[in-house]
């Protein structure tokens, strides 16, 4: 409209037309026919001094009558923000064609006039009669010679091959769930016999809101006659005339998420290539694949896969180091809405697609999303004892109700504590294909200041300085281990990695923790990422006693070793999903994994690990020679104490 206003102000001979139904007008000796129904929006055109301005789709087409012949025109295009100053300003290109409609058809602009009707224009007779405009019927639109009539994702067969048949999505036939790095077969039905040498068939996989090849969220596959390995590919298995069996391969680094499949057929007409596509209405869920040797989460033993991926029930251990008991938990990773909830969490919390292929980054992200402290995650923690407005952490017996409520309301669920956070983290990891287990550490330390020790402070008279005593020891604490390779670290640090969804200390400004390699925790190599110093302190910190002198300095007056990290426990991998799980006795199915986290207490290897870790401490040097502590305390405790009975303790003091 800006263009039209300018023309109205500066042109005396301006003639404005809103064409409908192939409206007709004349410019000098040239006959012009223009139809509005061939454009995305109704065009406006203005005739001014042998110049035609057409405003269509926010683009201006400017045509000049050259005066050489009534059938030749000059054309240039401008954005609608530009103003037509002169027919000689701006760059232009000459297009010579027989009719004005042909100029539009070949201009390469955003609208398509390939079906514009042909016209014959008669010249005036000797008797001075007006020319007669004859219009033919519009040419029918180009139709694809090859069309896709049906696509079968073969959900039942593929889900069994990919160990995803237990998902409710698979059982209900609502979508196809596959694991990356492994082929799956689909069936495509077309309208005529397919010739792979002549026909073009393309499979396009789309992910996210704005699929892009540069982001890796739009992948185009040309149908081939041979297979491919370790990369995207599509090839023909069987050609039964109109029924095609196609095998699709995804790379072992493929982004985990919800994908759409679009099948394109290509038609060549009048030196043009026209693409017709059919987007399948069912989602394809691509997961991590611990069965694939090339996947970073590959786990070599089937019994372990049965437990850490396929087992939907188990126990989470609680209590204290002298009285451990297993709390039954229904992980329910295959139940309704659970996988969709996991995908929603990733999609709605800015989990960039570029990180979706890396289980290290994904596991770290899950540890943040499981709690509601920062990113509108699943569960709110509460240790106050007042659970008004929610449910007590003791109410929950599984992850299903929590995740279903979150997915339905899109609001953080109240309330949970460490074993509940661990339970839903196990569920989220297993449903996405990351092997995971819940792990309980008894006598678990909480280091608040990065000292990698549990520090107790006293004044000069021996009274406790509570305002400085932020560190603590919990009867038990529960987190998770996830299994994966660590190509970001030196060789030897793959395998189990600790992550913790309970919001304790912020990491990189977010309440998240891990993954920290157990191999590094065991040897005290706490400089390796992520959050390894914090996890090391939980399982192997020493208690250090400090006295504040009259000058305000802290003096190391004592040390208590071997009191942190007892009976680190997880559910025994029984090799198959549990049946009558509620009758199992905890001690039969508890696996002690303390030796995976630390060397035997008091061994040279264990002491070396503690001293090595101290080199990364905020309070370095407490183990250096020349800084020996005046007094060492060692509390000799009994393993069991009868309830209601008196008991004795032995405190061993040495200097």
The residue from 456, 477, 571, 599 that is catalytic is 477
Which residues in 82-142 belong to E strands, given as ranges?
93-95, 119-121, 133-135
Rounded-to-integer distance, Cα 100 and Cα 553, Å: 92
Rounded-to-integer distance, Cα 27 and Cα 361, Å: 66
Is the Cβ–Cβ distance between 202 and 266 less than 8 Å?
A: yes
Task: Verify whether residue 624 is a known catalytic residue.
Answer: no
Rounded-to-integer distance, Cα 121 and Cα 116, Å: 15
Determine how β-strand 454-458 pairs with β-strand 543-548. parallel
Token couple for 75 = 């054309």
Question: How many Å is the Cα radius of gyration of the chain?
Answer: 36
The residue from 471, 500, 531, 542 that is catalytic is 500
Task: Verify whether residue 300 is a known catalytic residue.
Answer: no
From residue 425, alpha-carbon distances to 61, 332, 400, 591 in Å are 59, 12, 12, 19
| 88: Cβ contacts below 8 Å, ≥ 6 apart | none
Rounded-to-integer distance, Cα 154 and Cα 261, Å: 14
SS3 string of 568-612?
A: EEEECCCCCCCCCHHHCCHHHHEEECHHHHCCCCCCHHHHHHHHH
From residue 415, alpha-carbon distances to 35, 349, 397 in Å are 65, 21, 13
Rounded-to-integer distance, Cα 78 and Cα 545, Å: 78
Pick the closest to residue 337 from 205, 222, 174 (CA basis). Answer: 174
Rounded-to-integer distance, Cα 46 and Cα 18, Å: 9
Is the Cβ–Cβ distance between 182 and 291 less than 8 Å?
A: yes
Pick the closest to residue 123 from 112, 134, 109, 115 (CA basis). Answer: 134
- The sign of the dihedral angle between the CA atoms of 569, 571, 574, 576 is negative
The residue from 46, 418, 429, 513 that is catalytic is 418
Is the Cβ–Cβ distance between 422 and 277 less than 8 Å?
A: no
Is the Cβ–Cβ distance between 439 and 481 less than 8 Å?
A: yes
Task: Verify whether residue 500 is a known catalytic residue.
Answer: yes
Rounded-to-integer distance, Cα 572 and Cα 304, Å: 10
Rounded-to-integer distance, Cα 337 and Cα 168, Å: 8
Ranges of H-type helices in 172-308: 302-305
Is the Cβ–Cβ distance between 181 and 230 less than 8 Å?
A: yes
Residue numbers annotated as active site: 418, 477, 500
């Amino acid at each position: 409209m800006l263009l039209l206003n300018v023309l109205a102000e500066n042109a005396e001979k301006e003639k404005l037309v809103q064409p409908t139904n192939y409206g007709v007008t004349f410019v000098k000796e040239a006959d012009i026919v223009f139809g509005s129904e061939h454009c995305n929006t109704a065009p406006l055109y203005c005739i001014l001094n042998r110049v035609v301005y057409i405003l269509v789709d926010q683009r201006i087409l400017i045509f000049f009558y050259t005066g050489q012949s009534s059938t030749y025109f000059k054309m240039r295009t401008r954005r609608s923000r530009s103003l037509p100053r002169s027919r000689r300003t701006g760059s232009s290109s000459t297009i010579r064609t027989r009719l004005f409609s042909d100029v539009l058809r070949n201009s390469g602009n955003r609208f398509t006039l390939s079906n514009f009707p042909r016209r014959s224009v008669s010249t005036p007779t000797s008797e001075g009669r007006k020319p007669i405009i004859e219009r033919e019927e519009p040419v029918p639109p180009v139709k694809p010679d090859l069309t896709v009539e049906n696509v079968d994702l073969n959900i039942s067969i593929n889900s069994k091959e990919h160990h995803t048949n237990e998902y409710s999505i698979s059982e209900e036939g609502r979508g196809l769930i596959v694991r990356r790095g492994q082929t799956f077969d689909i069936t495509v039905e077309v309208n005529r016999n397919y010739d792979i040498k002549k026909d073009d068939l393309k499979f396009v996989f789309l992910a996210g809101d704005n699929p892009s090849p540069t982001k890796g969220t739009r992948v185009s596959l040309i149908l081939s006659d041979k297979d491919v390995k370790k990369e995207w590919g599509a090839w023909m298995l069987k050609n039964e005339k109109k029924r095609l069996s196609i095998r699709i391969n995804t790379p072992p680094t493929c982004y985990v998420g919800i994908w759409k499949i679009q099948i394109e057929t290509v038609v060549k007409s009048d030196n043009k290539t026209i693409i017709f596509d059919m987007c399948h209405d069912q989602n394809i869920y691509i997961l991590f694949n611990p069965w694939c040797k090339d996947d970073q989460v590959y786990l070599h033993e089937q019994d372990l896969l049965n437990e850490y991926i396929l087992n939907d029930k188990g126990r989470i251990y609680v209590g204290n180091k002298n009285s451990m008991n297993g709390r039954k938990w229904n992980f329910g990773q295959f139940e309704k809405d659970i996988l969709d909830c996991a995908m929603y969490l990733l999609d709605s919390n800015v989990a960039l697609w570029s990180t979706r292929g890396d289980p290290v980054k994904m596991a770290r992200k899950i540890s943040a999303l499981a709690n509601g402290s920062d990113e509108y995650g699943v569960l709110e923690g509460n240790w106050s004892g007042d659970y008004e407005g929610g449910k007590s952490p003791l109410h929950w017996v599984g992850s299903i109700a929590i995740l279903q409520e979150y997915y339905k309301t899109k609001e953080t669920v109240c309330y949970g504590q460490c074993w509940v956070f661990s339970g839903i983290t196990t569920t989220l990891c297993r449903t996405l294909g990351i092997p995971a287990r819940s792990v309980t550490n008894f006598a678990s330390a909480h280091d608040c200041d990065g000292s990698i020790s549990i520090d107790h402070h006293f004044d000069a008279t021996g009274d406790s300085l509570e305002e400085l005593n932020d560190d603590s020891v919990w009867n038990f604490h529960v987190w998770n281990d996830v299994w994966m390779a660590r190509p970001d670290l030196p060789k030897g640090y793959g395998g189990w990695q600790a992550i913790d969804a309970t919001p304790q200390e912020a990491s990189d400004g977010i309440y998240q923790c891990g993954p920290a390699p157990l191999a590094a925790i065991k040897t005290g190599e706490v400089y390796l990422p992520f959050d390894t110093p914090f996890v090391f302190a939980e399982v192997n910190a020493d208690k250090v006693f400090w006295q504040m002198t009259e000058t305000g300095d802290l003096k190391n007056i004592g040390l208590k070793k071997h009191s942190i990290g007892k009976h680190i426990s997880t559910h025994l991998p029984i090799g198959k999903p549990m049946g009558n799980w509620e009758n199992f006795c905890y001690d039969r199915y508890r696996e002690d994994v303390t030796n995976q986290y630390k060397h035997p207490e008091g061994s040279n290897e264990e002491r070396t690990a503690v001293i090595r870790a101290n080199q990364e401490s905020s309070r370095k040097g407490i183990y250096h020679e020349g800084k020996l502590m005046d007094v060492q305390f060692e509390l000799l405790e009994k393993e069991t104490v009868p309830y209601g009975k008196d008991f004795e303790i032995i405190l061993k003091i040495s200097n």
